[in-house]
């Protein structure tokens, strides 16, 4: 036999046998592997959302899958977002649980991470994950002090960047959840909550706070003053001047202006134009790429179209776009959140600042939150 | 035959003396349990590849021997990988790409090239077993040292009390390099002592 | 664009394949004290790795995933790498003999080098698109070249140092590698939450 033929023959036979053996091995193990993956997902979902009996998965993009969890009687129990984002060393994959209103976190599980063992890796520790339960995104990281407000999380000592990454991914998870599920399944906490929904956890709280809004504003302030430490740092209550100061940039002339105090010291403002239509401005903050971002977002109080955005605090890196690019910010005007970054399946999304996708994404998350806060603020004064 | 087996244990230890296959030794030895599973996977692949190669050594033309070896090795590596994924998903996640990377572990290819392809089956098996045990004790010892200093635990059981402040660096790449460097040095020192007396 | 830069910087400095994934350790430890051969080896590897990243991405996306053959990943990648190296060798010999003279002797060593297969496997785990994957391969190659060159420079100096007898050779090289890895960890802060 010629040596060339023998070479080809032997290699082919070896490759064929190898393929056959592997095919058999795969047949044998694949159901088990699939089951492991499904089990892992289901297990994570059950950890972050209470009372899960069954779930439906929907892949939103290549980093995100949304699980709609149902309880044993078929009602929606909550939502889980399986999402991947970048951490300190590499990708971090999380399962984030949301309540039925999509506003409050019900749990957090770290599925995959390659953070530094002993430091960033501590994001998998129970106390860190527990912190997220009951919080309302957008969440922020605080260092060195105990978190007081419902959107604050304490960083892991020595691993601030990993902690921030987790927070950023959680915030993104919410904006992805809000922008990708049909509007019908999202009901803002207070205003339309009474519809056909069940009296669940979130709604009970809504009912309580709705009752609270009936009391006089003065009394409500006092209650909060006892509850919140950060209130002490607040400016003296002169609703008109504070409101005018913030809102005069977007509305002129202002006929009436009033501050709507919110439970976490980030206020909202309602201003009326001469013609009678009103503009609502909300202060929102969240975590950007480098540091926190604080914005004032002005929206039409009727249809929540954005009228203007003012940057109150922002310290993003100079190198990757400090985020002050006016063409980026002007894109928001006239549009109604929830918004998302432009992508193949979202041609009319927002163009990111070139070189600063992370920052742009963070800004969009914060602006989406602004709408939820505006709805909340309006329902406070309506009652 | 006994010589073929004993060689790999200490005198020609593939890791400490040959400095081969270090990539997996360094990468997964951050805990003892990971080391044990890696050692088992390498042993499985090395023993079975040597067995097969030794059996078919006479029909493989010399020109295509390296590709043939690689295909045989890759087959066993994939079987090991699938097995871990199916029955030990947690461990498989920890070991990550380092299980498939056994394919290019120099120890395995070197043993096929230097030994299994030239020797009858029982010698090849003895050699493969010796080398595997040589590899295994080094990676497991390294895993125990790193886990002890990095977490204060051995196989997940707390050994050092609350007074102990873990050396996080032991779990990171620098700790892996330095610990192995010290082990290589110690081994040389012991061997030098032994040959003198 | 941002993404591309991040991948490039991450693979060269922050997640250098040698210092954080321990890939390509054999040539790294075995490199002689000659910086020129280190650079030659590095560039040959970079060349092969960039090509590998390109080819394995296509195979993964258009053959393995559509036909549900992901379990053949390791086997097919290693065969592709082996034939790719052969092909590159033949191509260089015919078309650019001068480059072949410079890099040729290093090429056969690259097939069994875990950095190339490691790159292919890590790339397929990361869901990159084609461009990102190629940049990932290129960056990993440059990072490898950098590590190799630094090590060669240090080896040159070590020749004149008084190293304790048992640590000579492998021992001291590993300890130096540890110190270098420690130094490279300093780059981690560079990307922040990137």
My answer on whether A150 and A253 are in the same domain is no
CA distance C70 to C62: 11
Query: Among positive and negative, which fits the CA dihedral A305, A309, A313, A316?
Result: positive
Q: Is the residue at A306 inside a domain?
A: yes
| Residues 6+ positions from C14 with CB-CB distance below 8 Å | A89, C20, C184, C187, C188, C190, C191
My answer on whether A139 and A96 are in the same domain is yes
B14 touches chain A (CB under 8 A): no
My answer on whether A210 and A123 are in the same domain is no
Contact A276, A257 (CB under 8 A): no
Among chain B residues, CA nearest to A3: B61
DSSP C10: I
My answer on whether A207 and A70 are in the same domain is no
My answer on whether A78 and A172 are in the same domain is yes
ipTM for the predicted complex: 0.86
Among chain A residues, CA nearest to C129: A62
Report the pLDDT value the prediction gives residue A137, as an integer from 0 to 100: 81
Q: Is the residue at C29 inside a domain?
A: no
Question: Nearest C-alpha of chain B: how many angstroms from A116?
Answer: 7
Report the pLDDT value the prediction gives residue A17, as an integer from 0 to 100: 93
Report the pLDDT value the prediction gives residue A271, as an integer from 0 to 100: 78
Closest CA to A264 of A350, A353, A135: A135
Question: Nearest C-alpha of chain B: how many angstroms from A9?
Answer: 10
CA distance C66 to C53: 19
CA distance B9 to B4: 10
Question: Nearest C-alpha of chain B: how many angstroms from A33?
Answer: 5
Q: Give the range of the structural domain holding residue C41, as residue numbers without chain letter.
A: 34-185
Pairwise CB contact (< 8 Å): C75 & A18: yes
CA distance B108 to C117: 15
Q: How many domains does chain C have?
A: 1
This prediction has a pTM of 0.69
Closest CA to C45 of C133, C137, C180: C137
Q: Is the residue at C156 inside a domain?
A: yes
My answer on whether A242 and A219 are in the same domain is no
CA distance A363 to A372: 15
| Residues 6+ positions from A160 with CB-CB distance below 8 Å | A141, A143
Question: Nearest C-alpha of chain C: how many angstroms from B189?
Answer: 5
Instruction: Kindly report the number of other CB atoms within 10 A of residue B70's CB atom.
Output: 24
Instruction: Kindly report the number of other CB atoms within 10 A of residue A90's CB atom.
Output: 16
- Which of the residues in chain C have pLDDT under 70? 1-2, 31-33, 104-105, 111-112, 188-194
Contact B186, B39 (CB under 8 A): no
- Conformational region of residue B60, where left means phi above 0, alpha means psi within -120 to 50, and beta covers everything else: beta
- Strand A140-142 relative to strand A152-154, pairing: parallel
- A134-138, A260-264, B21-25, B83-87 — most confident range: B83-87
Q: Is the residue at C19 inside a domain?
A: no
Query: Nearest by CB to B27, which of C21, C30, C74?
Result: C21
Instruction: List all chains that touch chain A, counting a touch as 3 or more CB pairs closer than 8 Å.
Output: B, C
User: pLDDT tens for residues B165-179?
Assistant: 888 888 888 999 999
Instruction: List all chains that touch chain B, counting a touch as 3 or more CB pairs closer than 8 Å.
Output: A, C
Q: How many domains does chain A have?
A: 3
My answer on whether A126 and A76 are in the same domain is yes
Question: 3-state SS string over C118-187?
Answer: HHHHHHHHCCCCHHHHHHHHHHHHHHHHHHHHHHHHHHHHHCCCCCCHHHCCHHHHHHHHHHHHHHHHHH
Contact A50, A79 (CB under 8 A): no
Mutation target to probe the B interface, by most B beta carbons within 10 A, among A36, A92, A114, A159 is A36
My answer on whether A343 and A243 are in the same domain is yes
Report the pLDDT value the prediction gives residue B183, as an integer from 0 to 100: 94
C78 touches chain B (CB under 8 A): yes
Q: Is the residue at C158 inside a domain?
A: yes
Q: Is the residue at C9 inside a domain?
A: no
My answer on whether A254 and A327 are in the same domain is yes
Q: Which residue reads 């996708």 in tokens?
A: A357
Q: Which residue reads 């890939």 in tokens?
A: C23
| Residues 6+ positions from A150 with CB-CB distance below 8 Å | A134, A135, A136, A263, A264
Q: Give the range of the structural domain holding residue B113, as residue numbers without chain letter.
A: 2-196
User: pLDDT tens for residues B113-155?
Assistant: 889 988 999 999 999 999 999 999 999 999 999 999 988 899 9
Give B37's Cβ-side CA count (13 Å radius): 24
- Which of the residues in chain A have pLDDT under 70? 1, 89, 116-118, 182-240, 263-265, 274-276, 290, 316-324, 382-383
My answer on whether A371 and A241 are in the same domain is yes
My answer on whether A266 and A166 are in the same domain is no
Closest CA to A330 of A312, A354, A307, A346: A307
My answer on whether A84 and A135 are in the same domain is yes
DSSP B152: S
Contact C166, B189 (CB under 8 A): yes
Instruction: List all chains that touch chain C, counting a touch as 3 or more CB pairs closer than 8 Å.
Output: A, B
| CA distance from start to end of chain C | 14
Report the pLDDT value the prediction gives residue A97, as an integer from 0 to 100: 92
Q: Is the residue at C18 inside a domain?
A: no
Q: Give the range of the structural domain holding residue A121, as residue numbers without chain letter.
A: 54-184
Q: How many domains does chain B have?
A: 1
Pairwise CB contact (< 8 Å): B74 & A18: yes
Q: Residue A189, SS3? A: coil
């Amino acid at each position: 036999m010629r040596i060339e033929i023998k070479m080809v023959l032997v290699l082919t036979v070896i490759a064929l046998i190898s393929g056959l053996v592997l095919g058999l091995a795969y047949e044998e193990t694949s159901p088990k592997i699939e089951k492991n993956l499904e089990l892992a997902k289901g297990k994570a979902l059950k950890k972050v959302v209470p009372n899960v009996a069954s779930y439906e998965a929907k892949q939103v993009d290549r980093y995100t899958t949304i699980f709609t969890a149902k309880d044993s009687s078929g009602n929606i129990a909550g939502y889980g977002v399986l999402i991947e984002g970048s951490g300190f060393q590499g990708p971090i994959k999380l399962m984030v649980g949301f309540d039925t209103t999509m506003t409050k976190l019900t749990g957090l599980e770290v599925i995959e991470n390659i953070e530094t063992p002993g430091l960033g890796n501590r994001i998998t520790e129970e106390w860190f994950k527990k912190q997220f339960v009951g919080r309302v995104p957008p969440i922020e990281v605080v260092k060195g002090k105990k978190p007081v407000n419902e959107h604050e999380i304490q960083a892991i000592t020595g691993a601030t960047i990993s902690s921030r990454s987790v927070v950023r991914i959680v915030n993104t998870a919410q904006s992805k959840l809000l922008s990708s599920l049909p509007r019908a399944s999202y009901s803002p906490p207070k205003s339309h909550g009474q519809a056909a929904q069940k009296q669940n956890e979130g709604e009970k709280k809504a009912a309580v706070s709705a009752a609270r809004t009936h009391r006089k504003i003065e009394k409500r302030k006092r209650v909060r003053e006892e509850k919140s430490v950060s209130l002490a740092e607040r400016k003296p209550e002169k609703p008109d001047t504070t409101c005018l100061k913030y809102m005069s940039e977007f509305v002129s002339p202002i006929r009436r202006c009033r501050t709507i105090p919110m439970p976490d010291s980030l206020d909202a403002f309602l201003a009326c134009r001469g013609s009678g239509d009103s503009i609502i401005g909300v202060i929102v903050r969240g975590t950007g790429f480098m540091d926190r971002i604080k914005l004032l977002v002005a929206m039409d109080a009727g249809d929540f179209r954005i009228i203007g955005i003012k940057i109150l605090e922002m310290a993003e890196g100079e190198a990757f776009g400090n985020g002050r690019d006016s063409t980026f910010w002007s894109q928001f005007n006239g549009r109604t959140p929830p918004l998302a970054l432009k992508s193949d399946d979202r041609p009319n999304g927002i163009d990111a600042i070139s070189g600063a996708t992370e920052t742009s994404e963070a800004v969009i998350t914060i602006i989406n939150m602004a709408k939820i806060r505006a709805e909340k603020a309006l329902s406070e004064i309506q009652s | 035959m006994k010589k073929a087996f004993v060689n790999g244990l200490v005198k020609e230890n593939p890791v400490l003396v040959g400095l081969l296959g270090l990539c997996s030794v360094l990468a997964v030895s951050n805990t003892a349990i990971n080391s044990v599973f890696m050692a088992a996977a390498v042993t499985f692949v090395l023993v079975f590849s040597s067995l097969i190669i030794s059996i078919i050594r006479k029909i493989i033309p010399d020109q295509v021997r390296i590709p043939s070896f690689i295909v045989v090795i890759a087959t066993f590596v994939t079987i090991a990988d699938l097995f871990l994924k199916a029955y030990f998903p947690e461990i498989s996640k920890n070991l990550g790409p380092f299980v498939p990377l056994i394919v290019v572990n120099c120890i395995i290819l070197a043993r096929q090239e230097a030994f299994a392809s030239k020797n009858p089956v029982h010698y090849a098996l003895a050699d493969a077993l010796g080398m595997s045990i040589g590899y295994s004790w080094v990676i497991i010892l390294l895993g125990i040292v790193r886990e002890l200093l990095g977490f204060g635990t051995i196989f997940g059981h707390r050994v050092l009390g609350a007074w102990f402040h873990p050396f996080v660096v032991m779990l990171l790449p620098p700790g892996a390099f330095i610990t192995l460097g010290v082990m290589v040095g110690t081994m040389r020192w012991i061997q030098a002592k032994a040959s003198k007396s | 664009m941002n993404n591309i830069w991040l991948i490039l910087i991450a693979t060269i400095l922050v997640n250098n394949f040698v210092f954080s994934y321990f890939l390509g350790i054999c040539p790294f430890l075995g490199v002689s004290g000659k910086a020129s051969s280190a650079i030659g080896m590095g560039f040959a590897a970079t060349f092969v790795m960039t090509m590998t990243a390109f080819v394995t991405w296509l195979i993964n996306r258009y053959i393995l995933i559509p036909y549900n053959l992901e379990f053949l990943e390791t086997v097919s990648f290693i065969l592709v790498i082996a034939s790719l190296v052969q092909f590159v060798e033949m191509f260089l010999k015919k078309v650019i003999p001068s480059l072949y003279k410079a890099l040729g002797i290093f090429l056969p060593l690259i097939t069994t080098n875990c950095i190339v297969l490691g790159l292919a496997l890590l790339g397929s785990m990361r869901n990159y698109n084609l461009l990102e994957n190629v940049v990932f391969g290129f960056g990993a190659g440059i990072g490898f070249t950098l590590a190799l060159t630094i090590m060669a420079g240090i080896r040159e100096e070590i020749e004149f140092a008084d190293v304790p007898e048992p640590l000579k050779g492998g021992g001291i090289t590993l300890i130096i590698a540890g110190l270098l890895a420690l130094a490279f960890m300093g780059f981690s802060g560079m990307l922040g939450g990137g």
